[in-house]
Chains A and B, each alone.
Chain A
């Protein structure tokens, strides 16, 4: 595995006001790779989904930490790891099915489907009672740079 050219870590409590902070923070970090507006929108949306899941599901009736670790690579790859130590997911395969939700009437059950389609790769690891780690990866289109 190649070494990242830069990386950043963030820890924040699972307050819903951090949803917008988290996606904007990751987007500003990734800006170093000169992404397109569409690429930034995709990344912001996927990060918002993963972070919201920590807040809404992992720490349902409590507040816990959300850990974000993002890396960027020379070849334009972006990875964002979002981890919680909340309730975990019993059946990850079922949870990832579009429209599956345990969140009640106001949730669409679309978060994982959005992460999957807006990013190039999605990995989910979870242990019930221990927590969940989501890894998002995207390859940004490398454009000709005009550095002069």
Chain B
């Protein structure tokens, strides 16, 4: 997986490209967290538009970034989740966390 990070004002967007599993999640996590800690964005957006496969490691990635943003007093938004990803998000009960969701694909 590759991560494309863009920052605009107090918004940081991470476009995730490829497949998310335990192996690939680590590097993505490290890249995102390093940038968040450097720029302290108010809003972190994880964009799943270019994700072709994801297992529960992706849910761990979301939960961990939510925790980090919470600690920093910011918000997490997830965008463009596929049907399968949305299904896992539902199973994890992420609805109970204050995570914003935007645009779903398909």
Contacts and interface: CB of A to CB of B under 8 A. Distances in A.
Interface in A33-67: 41, 44-45, 48-49, 52, 55-56
A106 B88 contact: no
A105 B91 contact: no
Given A41-B84, A45-B84, A106 B23 contact: no
A108 B67 CA distance: 13
B61 interface: yes
Contacts of B61: 106
B106 to A, nearest CB: 11
A106 B25 contact: yes
A108 B23 contact: no
Contact of B60 (A44, A48, A106): A106
B55 A52 contact: yes
Given A41-B84, A49-B55, A108-B63, A19 B92 contact: no
Closest 6 pairs between A and B when the two form their complex, measured CB to CB: A16-B23, A110-B56, A108-B59, A48-B55, A108-B60, A106-B60
Interface of A: 16-17, 19-20, 23, 41, 44-45, 48-49, 52, 55-56, 98-99, 105-108, 110-111, 113-114, 117
Given A45-B55, A105-B64, 13 more contacts: A17-B23, A20-B19, A45-B54, A52-B22, A52-B55, A55-B22, A106-B25, A106-B60, A106-B61, A106-B64, A108-B60, A108-B92, A114-B88
18 contacts: A16-B21, A17-B23, A20-B21, A20-B23, A20-B24, A23-B53, A41-B84, A45-B53, A52-B55, A56-B22, A106-B57, A106-B61, A107-B57, A110-B59, A110-B88, A111-B56, A114-B55, A117-B91
